[in-house]
Structures are given as structure tokens and as C-alpha cells.
Amino acid sequence: MIIKTDDYTIECTDLNLCKIFGSMRLPSPLSYNQPFSPIKSGIEDATDTYIIDITELKYLNSSGITSLARLIIVARKENKELRLLINNSIPWQKRSLSSLTALWEKLEIKPV
């Protein structure tokens, strides 16, 4: 499944992998439910470590970080391993995401 808007693209075309590109600054965590729903399903149906690649996600606001954290909580509930591929040259990714590992012991945050 591909969700494409003027600002961002979410590609969940491979089993166990999703890529998010662009800039996501939606008004509330609720407004992320729809664009993140294929990721949530992907985590629930994952047959191996599920990978979320955000290396080309330039911006994500705090509502988006909250929603990303909720996906991690879904992985924890489903006992699924999760890997977050990040880009350390994007300041918010380098600074804001490391604390999320406290949410789930099987979350790996990997800079690429």
C-alpha cells in the first residue's frame, strides 16, 4: 500500500518493511491514525523483524512522535521485533528518538 500526499509518502509495499518520506506535521495524534494504519497492520502481521525506515522523513512533529511511540507499543503488545532506521544528519531524529527504546526491549534504533 502507498499513501501519497503533497507533503509525505508512506510506502508499505514489502512484507515487514515500511518507508516514510517527506514531512509529517499533522494536527493531533488522532490525525495520524489513518496514514499509520498500514504500518500498524504490517506490525501485527509481521513474520520477521518489522522495519520502519524514516531516513528520508525530514520532519515529524510531537503528535507524530506520540503516534510513532504508539506503533512501538503495538509491537510490544504483539511481541514483534521492531527496527527503526534513522538518519542522524536529521537533527530531530538524532535527538528525539533514542528514549523510545524504553518502550520496548525488542526495539532497535539503527542509524544508517
User: Residue 86: which of 61, 70, 108 has the closest Cα?
Assistant: 108
Say how far apart CA 79 and CA 73 lie, in whole Å. Answer: 10
3-class DSSP state of 32: helix
User: Residue 56: which of 96, 19, 92, 91 has the closest Cα?
Assistant: 19
40 is a contact residue toward other proteins (CB under 8 A): no
Q: Which of 15, 28, 110, 111 touches other proteins by CB under 8 A? A: 28
Q: Which is nearer to other proteins, 25 or 110 (CB)?
A: 25
76 is a contact residue toward other proteins (CB under 8 A): no
Say how far apart CA 56 and CA 41 lie, in whole Å. Answer: 22
Q: Give the chain's length.
A: 112
Q: Which is nearer to other proteins, 21 or 59 (CB)?
A: 59
Q: Of the ranges 10-18, 36-44, 47-55, 87-95, which one interacts with other proteins (CB under 8 A)?
A: 87-95
Least separation in angstroms between residue 14's CB and other proteins is 28
Say how far apart CA 15 and CA 44 lie, in whole Å. Answer: 11
23 is a contact residue toward other proteins (CB under 8 A): yes
Interacting residue ranges for other proteins, rule: CB under 8 A: 7, 23, 25-30, 58-59, 61-63, 65-66, 69-70, 73, 89-92, 95-96, 99-100, 102-103
